[in-house]
Amino acid sequence: MDFSLTREQELLRRLAEEFAENELEPVAADMDRKHKFNMENFKKMAELGFTGLGIPREYGGSGGGAAEKVIVISEFAKKCLTSAATLSIHGITPGVLLKYGTKEQKQSYLPRLTQGSSLAAFALTEPGAGSDAAGVKTTARYDAGTDEYVLNGTKCFITGGALADVVIVFALTNPELGTKGLSAILVEKGTPGFAGGKVEEKMGLCGSETAELIFEDCRVPAANLVGKEGQGFKIAMEALDGARIGVGASAVGLSEGVIDLSVKYMHERVQFGKPIAELQGLRWYIAEMGTRTESAKWLVYYAAYLQDSGKPFTKEAAMCKLNASKAARFNANLALQIHGGYGYMKDYPLERIYRDAKITEIYEGTSEVHKVVISRAMLGR
């Protein structure tokens, strides 16, 4: 058993740490205020190979696997959860294509997605299909005359929203079959019949666009089907398993970030004639925060290890996301408490981080969904 990073992983961690400090942290508050993602930073992430993690070099990727993604996402989230989430969610689609894509799809999409010329979005959620992912109503009717799928329906809460160049859409090719009739289909931005809808005003993660995607008689070539017809639910669930490790990693990074801020503040802030680091009540807060963060971190790494080893990891991915997101919200709350009135002010980053932390308990599956997944795995259904 070895808990240390390899030399390459440590170099990657330092590169990500430096990038987060130099490029992500300086724009985090501005993105939050303007409700706009900094696409320049997405291009810079690609230049450094971060968008290619988990994808082999033959497709323009940077190699590595789930562990490397965890390392980078955690470092990004220490400074900016929005940037970490953007990288993590973008990475879902190339991962799906690597496993299920045809040779042509891999050759056509993977270099674009790994090298940053295209941003990807994952479109499963609908107004009536959130936690109950099987409730999708969007349809994709096959038109044999033109060899195309015709998509109709509305997706909501889609990260990347209308900014995305490529969207993997989950739609019913055979509505009578329920989850067995769901398929994964690639749709490119600019395809007639595909438009961005309402852009949501959110509590946190404001730098990332979350939008509705509307499909009205949107025709795409049948060659855009990913995997087989009817494989969509399995593809979506598998993709979410991996994505949940990403959320866990980002929640750990957020926790580490608020601990750094709190430790610094506790040494600097003087009250009652001494640094507040000497107050026992606050020392206990820090001890609790550190313990929850370390335990969350190692469950995230364990889930990534299982994924990289090709072992089942659905349960552990759910556990690590459930645990790390709970720790992130707890830690953001205590960090704000340690900062007192300053923490509540928009001049300090904690106010944003506190709002951001909450989403980790909701997106890519709520904490309650994870308890369903975990308990089913433990009880055999």
Q: Which residue is nearest to ligand COS (CB)?
A: 365
The piece of 6-14, 53-61, 126-134, 343-351 that touches ligand COS (CB under 6 A) is: 126-134
- Minimum CB distance to ligand COS smaller for 179 or for 337: 179
What angle do helix axes 314-344 and 367-379 make, rounded to 10 degrees?
150
**What is the spatial distance between Cα 303 and Cα 2, in angstroms, rounded to a whole number?**
15
Q: What angle do CA 6, 7, 11 make, to 5 degrees?
A: 115
Question: Cβ of 71: how many Cβ atoms within 10 Å?
Answer: 25
The piece of 32-40, 123-131, 293-301, 334-342 that touches ligand COS (CB under 6 A) is: 123-131
Q: Are 13 and 53 in contact (CB under 8 A)?
A: no
Partners of 274 in the beta sheet? 271
**What is the spatial distance between Cα 52 and Cα 57, in angstroms, rounded to a whole number?**
8
- Minimum CB distance to ligand COS smaller for 182 or for 357: 182
> Binders of ligand COS among 129-188, rule CB under 6 A?
131-134, 179
Which one among 44, 141, 234, 355 touches ligand COS, defined by CB under 6 A?
A: 234
209 is catalytic: no
The piece of 73-81, 223-231, 235-243, 279-287 that touches ligand COS (CB under 6 A) is: 235-243
**What is the spatial distance between Cα 254 and Cα 273, in angstroms, rounded to a whole number?**
31
**What is the spatial distance between Cα 252 and Cα 73, in angstroms, rounded to a whole number?**
9
- Minimum CB distance to ligand COS smaller for 189 or for 234: 234
What letter represents residue 344's amino acid?
Answer: Y
Which one among 124, 214, 254, 335 touches ligand COS, defined by CB under 6 A?
A: 124
Q: Give yes or no for residue 233 binding ligand COS (CB under 6 A).
A: yes
Q: Are 136 and 182 in contact (CB under 8 A)?
A: yes
What letter represents residue 268's amino acid?
Answer: E
b vs e for 56-70, b when ≥16 Cβ sit within 10 Å of the residue's Cβ?
eeebbbbebebbbbb
Which one among 188, 238, 278, 288 touches ligand COS, defined by CB under 6 A?
A: 238
How many Cα atoms are found within 13 Å in the side-chain-facing hemisphere of 238?
Answer: 18
Partners of 170 in the beta sheet? 184
- Minimum CB distance to ligand COS smaller for 39 or for 372: 372
Q: How many residues bind ligand COS (CB under 6 A)?
A: 20
Q: Min. distance of Cβ 168 from ligand COS in angstroms?
A: 11
- Minimum CB distance to ligand COS smaller for 240 or for 282: 240
Q: Min. distance of Cβ 343 from ligand COS in angstroms?
A: 30
**What is the spatial distance between Cα 132 and Cα 229, in angstroms, rounded to a whole number?**
20
For every residue of 117-156, DSSP letters joined together read SS-EEEE--BTTBSS-GGG---EEEEETTTTEEEEEEEEE
Question: Cβ of 107: how many Cβ atoms within 10 Å?
Answer: 13
Which one among 48, 237, 263, 377 touches ligand COS, defined by CB under 6 A?
A: 237
x-marked contacts with ligand COS along 309-338 as a string, rule CB under 6 A = -----x------------------------
Q: Give yes or no for residue 41 binding ligand COS (CB under 6 A).
A: no
Contacts of 9 (CB under 8 A, 6+ apart): 67, 68, 71
> Binders of ligand COS among 63-122, rule CB under 6 A?
122
> Binders of ligand COS among 357-376, rule CB under 6 A?
364-365, 369, 372-373
Q: Min. distance of Cβ 128 from ligand COS in angstroms?
A: 13
Q: Min. distance of Cβ 63 from ligand COS in angstroms?
A: 24
The piece of 61-69, 214-222, 230-238, 346-354 that touches ligand COS (CB under 6 A) is: 230-238
Contacts of 246 (CB under 8 A, 6+ apart): 69, 70, 73, 88, 89, 91, 364
Which one among 24, 80, 240, 259 touches ligand COS, defined by CB under 6 A?
A: 240
E strand or H helix at 97, and its extent?
Answer: helix 92-100
- Minimum CB distance to ligand COS smaller for 68 or for 364: 364
Q: Min. distance of Cβ 363 from ligand COS in angstroms?
A: 6
**What is the spatial distance between Cα 242 and Cα 135, in angstroms, rounded to a whole number?**
21
Active-site residue list: 364
Q: Which residues of the chain form contacts with ligand COS (CB under 6 A)? A: 122, 124-125, 131-134, 179, 233-234, 237-238, 240-241, 314, 364-365, 369, 372-373
